[in-house]
Amino acid sequence: MTELHFDNRFVRELPGDPESGPRRREVRDALWSAVEPTPVTAPTLLAHSPEVAALLGLDAATVASEGFARVFGGNALYPGMQPWAANYGGHQFGNWAGQLGDGRAISLGELLAPDGRRWELQLKGAGPTPYSRGADGRAVLRSSIREFLCSEAMHHLGVPTTRALSLVGTGEAVVRDMFYDGHPRPEPGAVVCRVAPSFIRFGSFELPASRGELDLLRQLADFCIRRDFPELAGQGEALYADWFAEVCERTAVMVAHWMRVGFVHGVMNTDNMSILGLTIDYGPYGWIDDYDPDWTPNTTDAQGRRYRFGTQPQVAYWNLVRLAQALSTLFADVAPLQAGLERFQDTYARQERGHAAAKLGLSHCDDAGMAHFRRLQQLMHRGEMDMTLTFRGLMDLNPLQPSLACVEAAFYTPARRNAVEQDLLQWLGEHARLLQAEPLPAAGRRERMRLANPRFVLRNWLAQEAIDRAEQGDTGGIDELLEVMRRPYDEQPGRGHFAGRRPDWARDRAGCSMLSCSS
Ligand code: AMP
Ligand code: MG
C-alpha cells in the first residue's frame, strides 16, 4: 500500500459548520460541513483511470486491493482523510437559487502527490449531506459512467477539466424518474471519485455575498488566491483584480475549447462553474453530431434552451458577471471588474480565431477568415453535417482539385447533402484558394489540423453503448472507450466504429439525444 499524505487546508483554514452529520439544514457563516460518506452494500471497482492513479501516486497493487474499492465506494477512509461537504449557492437557469452546496458530493481530503501537486479527492454519489435538500445523495450507474468517461476524454482532448480516478458500483439500487414523467424505476447505483486541485465554484462566493457575510467572502477569496493561484503576486485590491482577470481568462479558454470540440455542458449554472476554469459537474452534457448551434442535450432545458451549444460563450460571460457582482465588495470601484470581463471577451475572441485557423489548416484567421469559418458553420447546419467528421475530413481536401469527397462521410441524409452540394463546392473552392496562398507546407498543415480536429469524441451514443453493457454486468465497454479516448487525435486504425456518425437507433433514444438532470 502506497503511503498517502493529506493536507486538508480547506477545512483547516476556513470556517466550518459547528454541527456535523447529514441533517438537512441551512448553514450560515460557514463554508463546509463535516459529513461522512454513507457505506454501501457491496463496493466493487468497475473502472479506474491509470493516468490519474499515477498522478496521485497510487500504485497498481493499491488500486487492485479490496481496501481501494471500500474507500472509493464510501465504506472506509485512509488515514489523514477528513470528509466534508462544501457550502455554496448559485444561479440556476438565470435565477438566484440560494443555498445549494454539495448535496451528493463528499470531499475526502487534499492529497499531496509525490510531485508536490495538491489534489482534492471527491466522491460523487456518496450519500446524504446537509445540502441534499430532500434528495438521496446518490448517483445512478449511467450518469456515473458518463462523468467518469467524459472527465478523462476531455482531458485527453486538451480541454481543462476535473479528472476521474475511479468508478465503484455500490450493489444498491437508486430510484430515479429519468424524465420526471411519473415513471420512477430502480437503477444500479455507483460512486465516482473526482479529482481536481480545487472544487471551489463561482457559487462559493455568491452565497456569502448574498447573505452579507462579507468577512467570510473575503476569507474565501484570500484562501482561494493563496492555495489555488499561488503564482499571483501583489496584494490588496490589485491582487483581487489580477485574480478575477485570471478567472475570466481561464473561463474563456475553457469555453473556446468546448466550441472547438463540439461539447455542450448542458447545465451552466453558476454552481457548476469552477473558479479554476475547469469543466466541472458532468450531468446532461452532450456532443454535437450534426452541427446545430441551437442543440442542447438537456431535456430539463428544452423550453428555453438557455444552455444550447451556440450560446455557451455568452452564458459563461453572464456567469462571470454574477461572480463580479459577488466580489464587488472587495473593490472600491467597478473598473477592475470591468477590466476582467473585457479580458474574457478579448481572450475568447483570440482563442476562437486561433482554433478556427487551426481547424481550417490556415496559419491565422483575420476577419475575412472568420467570415469564411462562419460560412462553413452555416453550411454544416443547413446540410446537417457531422461536425467532427467534417473538420477531420477537411484534412484530406486536395487544394488542387477541391471536391466533396473528403466530407461525404459527414452527411446524415442524401437530401440535405444535395441541398448544400453547390454552395459547399463553392466554399471548398474558396478554401482551396486560401490553402494555396498559405506559406505552410502541406504536411505541416495536416499536422496542425489533426491536432485541432479530434477523430474521436465521446459521442452520446458511444457512452450509451457502454452503459447498456455495464447495466448487464459487462464493464468491457467502459474500458474500451477509455482506451480509445486516450488518443483522440490519432487515427487508431481498426477503431472506425468509435469515429462513426450517430446510428439511426440513437437519434431519439434517451441517453443519446435526450438527457435530464435526473441522475
Ligand atoms: P447539478 O445541477 O446536477 O450540479 O445539481 C444541483 C444541486 O442539486 C447541487 O447542489 C447538487 O448537490 C444537488 N443534487 C443533485 N442531485 C442530488 C441528489 N441525488 N441528492 C442530493 N443532492 C443532489
Ligand atoms: Mg452541480
The domain segmentation of the chain, as residue ranges, is: 5-199, 362-450
Q: How far is the CA of 122 from the centre of ligand 1 (A)?
A: 14
Give the containing element (helix H, strand E) for 380. helix 367-382
Cα→Cα distances 519→100, 104, 105, 187, 364, Å: 17, 11, 13, 10, 42
SS3 491: coil
207-261 residue pLDDT tens: 999 999 999 999 999 999 999 999 999 999 999 999 999 999 999 999 999 999 9
State how far the Cα of 86 lies from the Cα of 26, in Å rounded to an integer: 12
* pLDDT, one tens digit for every residue, the chain (519 residues): 678 999 999 999 999 999 999 999 999 999 999 999 999 999 999 999 999 999 999 999 999 999 999 999 999 999 999 999 999 999 999 999 999 999 999 999 999 999 999 999 999 999 999 999 999 999 999 999 999 999 999 999 999 999 999 999 999 999 998 888 888 999 999 999 999 999 999 999 999 999 999 999 999 999 999 999 999 999 999 999 999 999 999 999 999 999 999 999 999 999 999 999 999 999 999 999 999 999 999 988 988 999 999 999 999 999 999 999 999 999 999 999 999 999 999 999 999 999 999 999 999 999 999 999 999 999 999 999 999 999 999 999 999 999 999 999 999 999 999 999 999 999 999 999 999 999 889 999 999 999 999 999 999 999 999 999 999 999 999 999 999 999 999 999 999 999 999 999 998 888 887 888 878
SS3 letters across 251-302: HHHHHHHHHHHCEECCCCCHHHCECCCCECCCCCCEECCECCCCCCCEHHHC
Best mutation site among 133, 141, 180, 517 for ligand 1 pocket (most ligand atoms within 8 Å of CB): 133
Q: What is the pTM of this model?
A: 0.98
Best mutation site among 100, 124, 273 for ligand 1 pocket (most ligand atoms within 8 Å of CB): 100
C-alpha cell at 226: 493563496
For every residue of 106-140, DSSP letters joined together read: EEEEEEE-TTS-EEEEEEES----TT-TTS-S--B
Ligand 1 atom nearest to CA at 129 = 21
For every residue of 436-464, DSSP letters joined together read: HT-SS-HHHHHHHHHHHS-S----HHHHH
> Any idea which residue has 435530464 for its cell?
516
Q: How far is the CA of 505 from the centre of ligand 1 (A)?
A: 30
Q: Is 132 in the pocket of ligand 1 (CB under 6 A)?
A: yes
Q: Whose CA is nearest to atom 2 of ligand 1?
A: 267
C-alpha cell at 150: 467524459
313-342 residue pLDDT tens: 999 999 999 999 999 999 999 999 999 999
SS3 276: coil
pLDDT for res 302: 86
State how far the Cα of 57 lies from the Cα of 112, in Å rounded to an integer: 9
pLDDT for res 143: 97
Torsion region of 478: left, alpha or beta (phi above 0 gives left; psi -120 to 50 gives alpha): alpha
Furthest-apart CA atoms within the chain: distance in Å: 72
Q: How far is the CA of 101 from the centre of ligand 2 (A)?
A: 8
Q: How far is the CA of 495 from the centre of ligand 2 (A)?
A: 34
Q: What residues are labeled active site?
A: 271
